[in-house]
Structures are given as structure tokens and as C-alpha cells.
């Protein structure tokens, strides 16, 4: 017998299409509720049915508007807790503030820790997320969780292409995960070496460690925000003689001017996932979006049934 009642799925405003795809995979309809934004910008949540004794999964990505979606998630968790849900799991395909994981300069916050505390205080019992920018964030939580990766989905896509290419990471900080990506594809690896110049948000690509001359290139990262790092990496590998350039990443944050930059780089294909909805005005013709819905749906089923999640990834 299950330790909890039936699965209940709720979709937040951050990724309704992805939530529906997850519901289709697990063959359970999304539960209905009202999410109201008052004229004073306060949020209100009301369930249409009881979740007493149920195993509840709240699917909410921290897409734009980021802080509204975070607050909506916290209020929804509190609402579910007060209706006596047996277990509440926050399914957060893209978790905001994962780049604020340490004090790397004086007088700054550790916002990722604050977010973890808020999710726990709201009443979540577990969490699930994909490709944290900093994996040590897992240690900020006292409640258990599953830190997943979409790299298996991206790797499978590129395996079908059978490219003779070089995998390139846009900075040395991503070297370890880039090495794993290259190993799965059985391809060589190169790195872009960078150093900070000017203010905190300005960086300069210095050199390429590795050879890409006459080769196709796959530039891999976990997220693309303004696309500044990708822009530098693409220009650098082309200067070093690369042929077709592919760019792949999990989270399409795409803050302005990312779409404009990406459209001007002559990239063969941009491969990402649906952890964050991409607005129509930012959907470039060469973007391919792969869904993480099957993976998240399977993790939800395994979590509910008390089966290993690691087995999905041969761990």
C-alpha cells in the first residue's frame, strides 16, 4: 500500500503547458483551483476540491514574472498544507536564484539559501528541480529532494544527429559538466577561457583551450540569460575555424537582448528544453525545444510509489 493517498497535480502560472504534458504522461488530470491577483497585486489561491491525505505535486517554474511566480508557489504550498495534504512536493523545473549560492564578495546575500528556507517554511515536504546552476544548493534544504538533469535528453538528441564535432564549454566553470556531456557523445572537448573586465556583468573571452578548426562545434551550458557568454563563445570558435555551430542548454531564460544576439550569430541550431516557456516573439526559427515532461512525470510516479529515481539514469 502507498504511504500517501492518490496523486494530485496542480499547475502554477509559471509553466502551464509543461504541467499539462506532465499530467498527460502520468495519465492524471490537473486539479483545478483559482489563482487570483487583486488590484493591489496581492495573490489569492483557493482549491476547488479537498486534498486531505493526498500526495500533492505543485508544478511551478520560476519564469517571468519571477517574483510573482515564486510568491504564488509559496502561497499555494501554504494553501495545500492548510487543507491537510499528506505530502507536498514542489516541482520546480527552473529554480530562480541558483546563481546566488555563496558570498563571493562582501556585503551580499545568499539568495538561493533564502529561497530554500521559504519553500520549507511554506510547508513543502519535498522538492524536484532540473539542472541547478550550482549543485551545492541541494545542501541548503533540510527536506529531501531530487536534483535532476536534462542532459540525458539533450545527449540523446545529439546522438541521433551523429555529428563529428567538438563539445565546447563557454567558460571553465562549466568544465566538469561539459566533460560529462562530451563523454556521453564520445566527442573531444574544448574550453573557452575568460576573465572579468569592467563591472560585475562584463566579461571578455580570452582564448580557446582545444582545437576546433574544420570541425562542427556544440557549445553546451545549463542556461542562457542575456546570451553574452554564448555570443563570445560562438565568435571565438568561428575565429578558430569552426564550421557549423550548435548551441544547447537546459533553461531558456532569454533576457533581452538574448534573442537579438542569438539571431545574429549564424548558429546552425539552438537546442533547449521547456523548463521555461519561450514567448512567441523570442522563438527563433532555428530553436528546437525538447520536453522534460516525460522525465518529470516518471520521477513523480516513482516518488509516489517509493521506487528509485536514480535507476532512471543508471545510477
- Render pLDDT for 226-239 as a digit per residue (tens, 0 to 9): 999 999 999 999 99
Q: What are phi and psi of 164, to 5 degrees?
A: -95, 90
* Residues whose CB is less than 8 angstroms from the CB of residue 1 and which lie 6 or more positions away in sequence, other chains included: none
Angle at 174 between CA 169 and CA 176, to 5 degrees: 105
CA-closest candidate to residue 62, choices 124, 122, 112 = 112
CA-closest candidate to residue 214, choices 244, 245, 241 = 241
pLDDT at 314: 77
Could you tell me if 259 and 284 are in contact, meaning their C-beta atoms sit under 8 angstroms apart?
Answer: yes
Domain 151-290: give its CATH architecture. 3-Layer(aba) Sandwich (3.40)
pLDDT at 1: 44
pLDDT at 221: 96
Q: Which class would CATH give 7-150+293-313?
A: alpha beta
Q: Where are the domains of the chain?
A: 7-150+293-313, 151-290
- Whether the predicted model's global pTM rises above the 0.75 cut: yes
pLDDT at 142: 96
pLDDT at 206: 76
pLDDT at 256: 96
Q: Exposed e or buried b for every residue in 138-168, given b needs 16+ CB within 10 A?
A: eebbeeebbebbbbebbbeebeeeebebbbb
**H-helix or E-strand spanning residue 184:** helix 175-185
Positive or negative, the Cα torsion across 173, 158, 246, 60? negative
Cell of 292: 522534460
pLDDT at 196: 63
Say which of 46, 102, 161, 194 is annotated catalytic.
Answer: 194
Per-10-residue mean pLDDT, the chain, length 315? 83 98 98 97 97 98 97 98 98 96 92 98 98 93 96 97 96 89 96 71 73 97 95 95 98 97 98 98 97 98 93 81
Give catalytic status of residue 162 as yes or no.
no
If you ran DSSP here, which 8-state letter would residue 85 be given? B
| β 7-11/203-209 pair status | unpaired
Is 7-150+293-313's fold the same as 151-290's? yes
Amino acid at each position: 500500500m502507498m504511504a500517501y493517498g492518490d496523486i494530485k497535480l496542480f499547475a502554477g502560472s509559471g509553466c502551464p503547458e509543461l504541467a499539462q504534458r506532465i499530467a498527460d504522461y502520468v495519465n492524471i488530470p490537473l486539479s483545478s483551483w483559482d489563482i487570483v491577483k487583486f488590484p493591489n497585486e496581492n495573490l489569492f489561491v483557493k482549491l476547488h476540491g479537498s486534498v486531505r491525505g493526498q500526495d500533492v505535486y505543485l508544478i511551478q517554474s520560476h519564469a517571468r514574472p519571477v517574483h510573482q511566480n515564486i510568491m504564488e508557489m509559496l502561497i499555494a504550498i501554504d494553501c495545500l498544507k492548510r487543507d491537510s495534504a499528506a505530502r507536498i512536493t514542489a516541482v520546480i523545473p527552473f529554480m530562480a536564484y541558483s546563481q546566488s549560492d555563496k558570498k563571493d564578495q562582501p556585503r551580499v546575500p545568499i539568495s538561493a539559501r533564502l529561497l530554500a528556507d521559504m519553500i520549507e517554511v511554506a510547508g513543502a515536504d519535498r522538492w524536484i528541480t532540473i539542472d541547478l546552476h550550482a549543485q551545492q544548493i541541494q545542501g541548503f534544504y533540510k527536506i529531501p529532494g531530487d536534483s535532476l538533469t536534462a542532459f540525458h535528453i539533450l545527449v540523446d538528441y545529439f546522438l541521433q544527429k551523429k555529428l563529428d564535432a567538438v563539445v565546447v564549454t563557454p567558460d571553465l566553470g562549466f568544465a566538469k559538466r561539459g566533460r560529462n556531456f562530451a563523454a556521453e557523445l564520445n566527442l573531444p572537448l574544448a574550453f573557452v577561457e575568460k576573465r572579468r573586465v569592467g563591472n560585475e556583468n562584463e566579461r571578455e573571452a580570452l582564448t580557446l583551450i582545444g582545437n576546433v578548426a574544420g570541425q562542427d562545434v556544440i557549445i553546451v551550458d545549463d542556461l542562457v540569460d542575456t546570451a553574452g557568454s554564448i555570443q563570445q563563445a560562438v565568435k571565438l570558435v568561428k575565429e578558430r575555424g569552426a564550421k557549423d555551430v550548435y548551441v544547447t542548454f537546459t533553461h531558456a531564460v532569454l533576457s533581452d537582448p538574448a534573442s537579438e544576439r542569438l539571431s545574429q550569430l549564424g548558429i546552425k541550431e539552438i537546442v533547449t528544453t521547456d523548463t521555461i516557456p519561450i514567448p512567441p516573439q523570442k522563438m527563433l526559427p532555428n530553436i528546437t525545444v525538447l520536453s522534460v515532461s516525460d522525465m518529470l512525470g516518471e520521477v513523480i510516479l516513482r516518488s509516489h510509489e517509493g521506487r528509485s529515481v536514480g535507476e532512471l539514469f543508471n545510477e
